Amino acid sequence: MKLGILMDPISAIKVHKDSSFAMLLAAQARDWQLYYLEQSDLLLRDGDAFARLRKLHVQDDPAAWFELGEADEQPLASLDILLMRKDPPVDMEFIATTLILDRVQAAGTRVVNHPASLRDISEKLYTAWFPQCCPATLVSRDRSQFLNFLETHGDIILKPLFGMGGESIFHLQAGDDNTNVMLETLTDHGRRFAMAQRYIPEIRAGDKRILLIEGEPVPYALARIPAAGEARGNLAAGGRGEGIPLTDRDRWICAQVGPTLAAKGVAFAGLDVIGDYLTEINVTSPTCIRELDRQYGLDIAGDLLDRLADPHP
């Protein structure tokens, strides 16, 4: 098998927690050939997608974790599987990249996740397709709508639609003197959509990341527990990761969401669940593989690759 990975610079990753790196280790353990590219290596010529590909070797050593060969321009159709693991933001360059990857998929290479679904599934907005799983939620640009939502619920979370890692997430309570400036900041004075959700107190027990492989959940979640004085559980915001078994409610949420994701070609996803409620559906570059593998002796990336390699799933 020839596997390519499109990602942010591999030189800057943290190997002990990087899920893309876990996928590369699992592929190499299966004697697959690895090829590396970044967005700047892509090109489209007369309808065919090419890239400057570099052969890649990885090793689980935090001092020296990769070796790259010389760049060689090749058609991306020469790959069996291409992992699209570019981190957000989902900006117009990201969208253009997925359009190029549409041509790769059309040529017979399996692109994971499906390029059209990377465009269609906005990680925060797509929860609206599963309202039965979610807390009270509002998406708007209108300050008065947010003020009414705050008055109704008294305690809410505000977040931008296209952030990651807990960036620009605010915990807002009725009567807060900073209410107006928070709304002005997130909506850019009414020129940008933002999201509000009812605050879920169970965040203190952790913001659970549940990983799905072709719609089926890994049996354990990583509860990302906020640091003292924080309302965000994101590991990038200082949260602490603790593995926990899935609850019956977690499995119910997965059963609601998983089949739709699998049908849309989303082979690997991460659901964010706080208490009993779905808050986000992550499809761009979900993480937490390495943490769960270490705590439970799993091989999540290996399970994913085995599913991808099976011509008769």
Catalytic residue positions, numbered: 124, 159, 209, 224, 232, 272, 280, 282
| Cis, peptide link before residue 219, omega less than 30° from 0 | no
Question: Which residue in this structure is represented by tokens 């994913």?
Answer: 304
C-alpha span between 155 and 180 (Å, rounded): 15
Residues 6+ apart with CB under 8 A from 6: 37, 38, 39, 42, 51, 82, 83, 84, 85, 86, 97, 101
Sequence-separated (6 or more) residues with CB below 8 Å from residue 157: 169, 170, 171, 172, 196, 197, 198, 199, 231
Residue 211's closest CA among 297, 87, 299, 311? 299
